[in-house]
Amino acid sequence: ELKNNTLIVVLGASGDLAKKKTYPALFGLYRMGFLPTGVKIVGYARTKMDNAEYHKRITSYIKNVDDDDGKAKLEEFKQLSTYVSGGYEDGESFDKLNQYLQELDGGFQGNERHRLFYLALPPSVFIPVAKNLKEHCYSKAGINRIIVEKPFGKDLESCRELLKSLKEHWTEDETFRIDHYLGKEMVKNLLVLRFANVAMGAAWDKNSISNVQITFKEPFGTEGRGGYFDEFGIIRDILQNHLMQVLSILTMERPVSFAAEDIRDEKVKVLRAIPPVEREDTLLGQYVAANGKPGYLDDDTVPHNSVCPTYAATTLWIHNPRWEGVPFILKAGKALNEAKVEIRIQFKDVTQGIFKDIARNELVLRIQPAEAMYLKLNTKTPGLYTRALPTEMDLTYKRRFTDVYIPEAYESLILDALKGDHSNFVRDDELDVAWKIFTPILHWIEGKNGSAPRPVGYPYGSRGPKELDAFIHKYGYRRSAEGYSWPVTN
């Protein structure tokens, strides 16, 4: 564990990720007393600025600090944060950075602190920066770790190349690959829900479950990120990483222990049982102008004839004894009617006979906003007659866990990286197998094997393509019966 004397270096300190996630999370940890004692944070980027300007930026990155204690903590946090500017490609800049880090160490060679390097950078500079850090800024006496973020390549081949280049400089043990969905509270709860509850464990297979949906909905379009997005598309942005991580924890076998490698071994195993996505199991959409909002193609940073999907639904199949025949429907879209990420497990029909049209049980795990779990159960309507009514057993976190702070994903993950716990980071072989599942469909979508398919249009602010209901119906999802179901009397 990096307890004392740690330097955290944020590379790309003036970029979007640092602003929205890294700095707020570092401050959150500092405020709660989770950063190592004597920690120093060094921002590094190309932009030239002095510490005063950098502190101004930090203040603007960190929201919701209204109370006196928070304000005082923010002042302290700024005092331990300093800034160095330099290039990403040239060794000299990194020599300069290293000299500065040594000054912070007290100027003694051989007395270096631990160093945690956070790469909040675009993929084009991942490799030169990783190389330069290793060659010029590696602490000889302390522990070194590097945090990197997606995109990890664009397909299987480019991912393998990227990993290979990074591995020339950093070992797997030193590398922490973030998929921030692994830091979300409800995703972390999956292990407990599944393996600490006999009742859940018993129902968790093809005998009880009809179909599963994992859904990501965002109410805004590419606003300002069109350039990046058009190159990647919704499958690479959300499905191949975030939703696949959720899927693997939802479906893996029980790990031998909570140790990182035991968990990740099981995740890889289940992913290996999934064949590549088929075209017929895919629905692609692209939003069009509606409700006073621009369409995807109206974004100036997007090529005017782009066929890049901003919505995708794909159904995956797991060929193992637990899951054979159960469809896993992954759906993600931008510019939809709401912000919501959830897992919806629909159970099979109850044996018919004594009941008619009884609603199916569903277990819904809401990842965001407002974490919740609810189980749809049929209950006899109280009263002097017999009717089965679909009701809910509701575990909404806000009601059940009052006054508990639910950490931001990045707070939880940076803390894990400081502790050296890899459980919630992505191992190299997980990436490899997730890319294997999606590479053929991505190549097809990009017209690598003929003409590219055109996504169907859906209005900005809608539920998604109108074809969606028929799509999920095809895989067995049945909308719950409205109202009540009568018992069948002979």
Distance in angstroms (rounded) separating the CA atoms of residues 387 and 129: 66
CA geometry: angle at 129 spanning 169 and 74, to 5°?
Answer: 115
Q: Which is nearer to ligand BG6, 149 or 155 (CB)?
A: 149
Shortest-Cβ-distance residue relative to ligand BG6? 237
Distance in angstroms (rounded) separating the CA atoms of residues 414 and 424: 10
Residues ≥6 apart with Cβ < 8 Å to 137? 9, 94, 97, 98, 101, 115, 117
Distance in angstroms (rounded) separating the CA atoms of residues 50 and 300: 34
Distance in angstroms (rounded) separating the CA atoms of residues 422 and 15: 26
Query: Quick one: tokens of 453?
Result: 């398919």
Report the site for ligand BG6 in 125-184 (rule: CB under 6 A).
180
Residues ≥6 apart with Cβ < 8 Å to 463? 336, 337
User: Is 44:83 a contact under the CB 8 Å cutoff?
Assistant: yes
Residues ≥6 apart with Cβ < 8 Å to 121? 11, 12, 15, 88, 129
Radius of gyration of the chain (CA): 25
476-487 as b/e: b if 16+ CB within 10 A: ebeeebeeebee
Q: How far is the CB of 187 from ligand BG6 (least distance, A)?
A: 11
Residue 30, sorted as left (phi over 0), alpha (psi -120 to 50) or beta, turns out to be alpha
Report the site for ligand BG6 in 104-133 (rule: CB under 6 A).
none
Report the site for ligand BG6 in 184-223 (rule: CB under 6 A).
218
Q: Which is nearer to ligand BG6, 237 or 428 (CB)?
A: 237
Other beta carbons less than 10 A from residue 4's beta carbon: 11
**Side chain identity at 390, as an amino acid letter?**
P
Residue 269 host element (H or E): helix 260-272
Residue of 253, 248, 183 lying closest to 212 (CA atoms):
248
Q: Calculate the dihedral angle through the C-alpha atoms of 355, 359, 360, 362, rounding to the nearest 10 degrees.
A: -140
Q: Which is nearer to ligand BG6, 249 or 341 (CB)?
A: 341
Catalytic residue list contains 169: no
Q: Which is nearer to ligand BG6, 237 or 362 (CB)?
A: 237
Q: Which is nearer to ligand BG6, 358 or 431 (CB)?
A: 431
Residue of 28, 31, 26 lying closest to 43 (CA atoms):
26
Distance in angstroms (rounded) separating the CA atoms of residues 431 and 410: 20
Residue of 241, 222, 287 lying closest to 462 (CA atoms):
287
Alpha helices by DSSP H, 39-125: 51-61, 68-79, 91-104
Q: How far is the CB of 218 from ligand BG6 (least distance, A)?
A: 6
Tell me if 237 contacts ligand BG6 by CB under 6 A. Answer: yes
Distance in angstroms (rounded) separating the CA atoms of residues 384 and 458: 48
Q: Which of 114, 169, 180, 242 is catalytic?
A: 242
77-98 as b/e: b if 16+ CB within 10 A: bbeebbbbbbbbeeeebbebbb
Site string for ligand BG6, 329-368 (x = CB under 6 A): ------------x---------------------------
User: Is 356:485 a contact under the CB 8 Å cutoff?
Assistant: yes
Indicate which residues carry an active-site annotation: 242
Q: Which residues bind ligand BG6 (CB under 6 A)?
A: 180, 218, 237, 341
